[in-house]
Structure formats: C-alpha cells, structure tokens
Chains A and B, each alone.
Chain A
Amino acid sequence: MIVINVGFQLVSIDPSEVKGIGRDGIGEIPVKDGGSLADAMHMVGLVPDKPFMTLVNGDPVAPENRDDKVLNDGDQIAVFPPIEGG
C-alpha cells in the first residue's frame, strides 16, 4: 500500500487526548494514498463528525466535505474546537 505523510496540528485541543501527536500538538501521520481528511482524523482518534473545525493548507474544509477531501503528500492539517468568542 502506498502511504503519504501529512502534517497535523492541533490548535487549542489537548494533545494528550489525540494519538500520535506530540505534546506540542504537532505531528506527522501516515495516511493511505487517496485517503481523505476524515480518514486522517480517524487515524488520530478525532471523531470526524464531532463539530471540530478543520483547515487543509490553510483553507477551511467544512464538516460535510471531510469525506471527499482527498489528501496529498505533505498536506498540512489543522484542527481546532468549535469555540465561540467571549
């Protein structure tokens, strides 16, 4: 199986709750070629249909589009919680 590597960054999420990510919230994970953003989130144990917000290479990917968002080698994923301001 061909595998690609994608960068993963947790923003304002406790990294201890997420598999394979360093204590600084940053890591790199292998994903099967043709894998989606939803696949990558599954791999680290983030449930894709939880209301996390996601960016791939700085562009937002809405929750409903995560299954269709195919990843490329070297893509940078950022995930942050659905916080509201105050």
Chain B
Amino acid sequence: MGWQEKVLRVDLTAGKITPEPLNMEWAETYIGQRGLGTKYLSEEMDPAVDALSPQNKLIFATGPLTATGASTGGRYSVITKGALTNAIACSNSGGQFGAYLKLAGWDMLILEGRSPEPVYLLVENDDVRLLPAKDFIWGETVWDTEDKIIAKHQNPNLKIASIGVAGESLCRYACVMNDRDRAAGRSGVGAVMGSKNLKAIAAYGSVGTKVANPQAFKEANAAARAKLDPSEPRKRLSSIGTHAMLDVTNSYGSLPTLNCRAVQFDGAASVNVKAAHTPRRSDGKANLQTNKACFACSIGCGRIASIDPEHFSVKDKPRYQISLGGLEYEGIYAVGPMCGVDDIDAATYASALCNEHGMDPISFGASVAAAMELYDIGAITKEETGGMALEFGSAEALVWAAEVTGTATGFGVDIGLGSKRLCEKYGHPDLAMVVKGQEFPGYDPRAMQGMGLAYATSNRGACHLRASPFQDDFAHIRTEGKAAIVKKSQDRNAAWDSTGVCLFAGNAWKVDDLVAQLAGALPGNWTVDGFFDAGERIWNLERLFNLRAGLTKADDTLPKRVMEEPALSGAGKGKVAEIGKMLPEYYELRGWTVDGEPSSQTLGRLGLN
C-alpha cells in the first residue's frame, strides 16, 4: 500500500541497527519523503544542535510512490540540519538508489550519532550490516567507492549512495552522490554524512512494493503516463535538457554572471546547448553524447557528455576521457557564466569532478566566483592561492579550483567553506551571493522578482526548486502578485517533493494527475485540496524548525548587491530586487506575524501546535 511500513534506525555510535514500524499517522499527514522526514527530524532532534555534531540526525526518506511504477517515481530525499545553512536541509535525488532502498523493504533510514571509525551500511533486504570503510573505501572518490563495494560484495545490482573526499573533509557543500552522477546536492548533506564517519550506503532489494488499490493505481498511472510521454516538456527535457535554460536567462537578462556583477554573459554561445551539440575538431564528437533517465522515468533529462581528449584538463588523464555526467543548467550556470568561463570542456570537467568528489556544482561554482571577485579586488592574492591567478574567465583557474576543492588541498579548503564563510574570512561578506548561507541557482532576482522572493523565503536557503514563479517572472517584471504565486507553488512543491515523484513530471501533469496516483497507492481520502494543505503544513513545519534553530525574519533577505546595484542590461535593466515590497504580503498570505512567525491560529489550522 505505497509503504513498506518499516523504518531502519542506525545508531552509529553504538553500531546498533534497529527496525521499527513507520508512523502511519504521520505518513497520512506529511505524505512521505520531504514532509515525513522533516516530521521525524523535528520530533526527535533539537534544531539548535551543531549540524556537524553527533546530535544531528541524517534521514534518508523515500515517498509513497517511490518504486511503485509511477512515472519518475524513484526519488528519495536526505533530510538533516544543513552544514552549509544551519537550517533545515532536504536534498532530493533520483537515479536508482532510492527505489532500491524501498525495494529492500525500507521506507526510511534514520542515522544517529557518530561512528568511532569510518563505516558503510550494507542493506540487502532484511540483511543489514555496518561494515568497516577504513583501508577500503575511506579516502576514495565516489566513483571508486561504488566500484569497490560492488566488486567486494559481488553484486552488480547494488545501488550506492556515498560521499567523496569533499564530504569526508566537511566541505560545507558536500553532497550525497548516488549512481555515479545523481546527487542529493544542496545544503551540505554530504558533510553531515562525513561528520558521522559514514562513507556509503549500498542497497539491493527484491521485496517489491504494493499499492492499496491496484486497479485505481493502474488506471491513474496509465493516464498520467499517456499525458507525460507525448508532451512537449518531456520531449524538450529529453532532447535539450535543462541546459536549454541558459539561452533563455541570457536573452532575458537574468543569467547570474561574474558573481552577479552582470546579468548577461558574452560567452554564452560557447557554453549553451548548441555548443554542446556541435561536433568538435579533435575527434569529431560533440560534448553531449546522449541522455540518461532515473528509475521509472520516461523523460531522461540527465546528460551524458564527453570532454575533448585534447583539452588541457584531461589530456593525460584517460580516467576522464570517457562518457560521464554532463552539463545541466544549474551546474553550467555556476561553473560557466557565474565565473565568466566560456570553455565548455573546462566546465564539463569541473562538473565531473563535482560528481567524482561529491560537491554541489551550484555552490562550488558560485564559491569559485566569489573567490574570483575577492581576487579581483585584491582581498585574495597569489599568496593565499599558492600561485594561481584566480581571475574571472580563467578556465585554468576553474579546473584548478575543482581539483583542489574536491580533494581538500591547500586553498581548496577555503573554497570548500562556501561563499558566505569565504567572503567573511576575507573581509567582504557582501560579496557572497547567498541566502541563509546557500548560493544562488541560475536566476538573477533583479529581472525575476518572484524568484527573489522565492530565494529569500526558501527554508533551505537560495533555491529554484522550492517555488515556481518562472512563467510569471518571464512575463512581468513587477512585484505585484508574486507573493501569492510563490506561496502557492511553495506549498505545491513541498507536497510534490514528499511523494517520491520527480518535480519535472509536473511540467506535464497537473496536481490532479499526481493525487489520483496517491489515491490509488494509499489508503485514505486524497484530494487536491488536501494535497495543498499537506504542502502548507510541511512548509510551516520547516519554518518552525528554522525558528527553533535560531533563524529569524532577518534571514529572509537577499545579498545587498542585488537589492542595491541595478541590473546593467536585459529586460530588468535598471531594476533591483525589491524584496521589501513583497515580504509583508507574503507573511500575511502565510498567516504569519510581521516577524515571520506562524500565528497560533495558523498553527491550529494546520494541526501544528
């Protein structure tokens, strides 16, 4: 019935593994994955604890539709207190791992404490073991970790979530990687895993899943699939991927460039989709090789690429002269335009190293951009970098930064602090393009006012997936009406992220299509209104977590640069992000006080008091 009704609790300090029943009452109220994981975390942990202390918990949560056969239904989320943000962190990933965890019979893993020695967790159906990682995979890259675990256990069907050296060495934006190139990417969830001395989780499952009403589920699933498969968004995501957004934001004037000094990038044509499709001189191949899909997904927005074997970054390195995870929009924006780099091979190499070492490419690229600006104004010199000229536009500097940050070497340790801590360390905190410590994705809030509000109010720091103001932002540069759009889409996305299905299916589906599948998979009465109510409840629960962690209204803001320095070009030329005009209305729509705290009436309405 959607659920296995089983949670695996792992006390890493004591090395103890305990199965327990899933709290079904909470599952009804918080759906699963993001919502349910946040409920467990909020109930079990004081949000004020240090994110890197043993007191923090790390939850891997699937959704009720994960591995049921629902289209794109292979998702899981990692929920914890973020090492980058000190706020609630919830990072969602696809690939195969989440589905296999569920197929092994587990809805959720709760990891507590800190192992005295590095370990990994092996989950083969009911057979669950903590095994030593030292002298085996500790210190290894994500790719080698996966290969070694599979070889040791002689099971090519094991699906693995792991951290690289970045996570082990507590890089603030380390991710949890799975299936080589999929990531629970944001907010530093990989650093929390590293702080627990947990290198990897390997899952294989053959238990299967059940749904509550097989006939209703089958019909809803078939109808949703019939809508998704021939749809334009599916075709577009499959053929040109999210990478296509680069030409859109560049022509609109909302492409963050040179650490947000500019909003359009002169070198865009060298790093856009067309560049990725164009055969190169050396071997006649294009950067983009093919696409790749996650579990049960007919979209396949993932990119598989190859780097020019003649390029300086890989010339004598056969390891990287293969097909590897390619450029997606948020990654290429960060390692390309944000750093002023117009070299598609250098960008692909830097992205590949983010996968190999387990770093969020958005935060990595934006942190390099911040470091480049610090270098540009003389706050960082070659003395700090060890001789590297960290100049905007330098492909060599980008490649070097990816290598030293991924391996936590020299100045790479500073880049691994993230933009906020890096800019504070070198005396220019205003140069960090962050909200709540998390770096911007690829949308400048001066031309996209709704996205500015979405960044400022996102519970996990600057994020493009917590709300969907895109269509209105690309049609109207104004502040009116944005609060309602942001609030409603935040609630929708919070509920959607709790189901086990990918947000991208929502480009073709309406909420009804997803609710019909939930209604087939689960007992109880599932309605569109109830779905939005659950989303609002989850949003408020995350907000309460953050307030208890010590965040305040003052954290619902944007960097000074985008609020005070007008955009130089594009549709938003002359505009600044006007967060002060939108925030009071947003709080009111949320039923929060002027200080941004949910009122007792709101808490009562949502059943949160």
Contact = CB atoms under 8 A, between A and B. Distances in A.
Contacts of A9: 251
A3 B592 CA distance: 56
A12 B251 CA distance: 11
B215 interface: no
A32 to B, nearest CB: 25
Interface centre among B242, B247, B330, B441 (most CB of A within 10 A): B247
Interface in B490-534: 503-504, 507
A60 B503 contact: no
A84 B504 CA distance: 9
Contact of A85 (B232, B236, B329, B477): B329
Interface stretch (B10-18, B29-37, B467-475): B467-475
Contacts of B233: 83
Contact of A86 (B273, B465, B475, B476): B465
Contacts of B470: 82-85
Nearest to B507: A84
Given A12-B273, A59-B571, A60-B474, A85 B443 contact: yes
B571 A85 contact: no
Nearest to B477: A60
Contact of A12 (B247, B443, B477, B571): B247
Is chain A's interface secondary structure helix, strand, loop, or mixed overall? loop
B475 A60 contact: yes
B242 A85 contact: yes
A86 B240 contact: no
Contacts of B504: 86
A78 B251 contact: yes
B245 A58 contact: no
Contacts of B224: none
B442 interface: yes
B253 interface: yes
Given A11-B251, A53-B471, A83 B571 contact: no
B244 A12 contact: yes
Contacts of A51: 471
A83 B465 contact: no
A86 B248 contact: no
A49 to B, nearest CB: 13
Contacts of B476: 60, 62
Interface string A72-86: 000000101111111
B488 to A, nearest CB: 15
A63 interface: yes
Contacts of A78: 251
Contacts of B330: 85-86
Interface of A: 9, 11-12, 51, 53, 55, 58-63, 78, 80-86
Interface of B: 232-233, 236, 240, 242, 244-245, 247-248, 251-253, 273, 301, 328-330, 441-443, 464-465, 468, 470-471, 474-477, 503-504, 507, 570-571, 573
Given A9-B251, A63-B475, A85-B441, 11 more contacts: A51-B471, A53-B248, A58-B573, A78-B251, A80-B251, A81-B232, A81-B236, A83-B236, A83-B507, A84-B468, A86-B329
* The 10 residue pairs across chains A and B that have the minimum distance between CB atoms: A62-B475, A12-B244, A53-B474, A85-B464, A84-B470, A86-B242, A80-B248, A11-B247, A11-B251, A12-B247
23 contacts: A12-B236, A12-B244, A12-B248, A51-B471, A55-B252, A58-B253, A58-B573, A59-B571, A60-B252, A60-B474, A60-B475, A62-B476, A78-B251, A80-B252, A81-B244, A81-B248, A82-B474, A83-B242, A85-B329, A85-B465, A86-B242, A86-B301, A86-B464
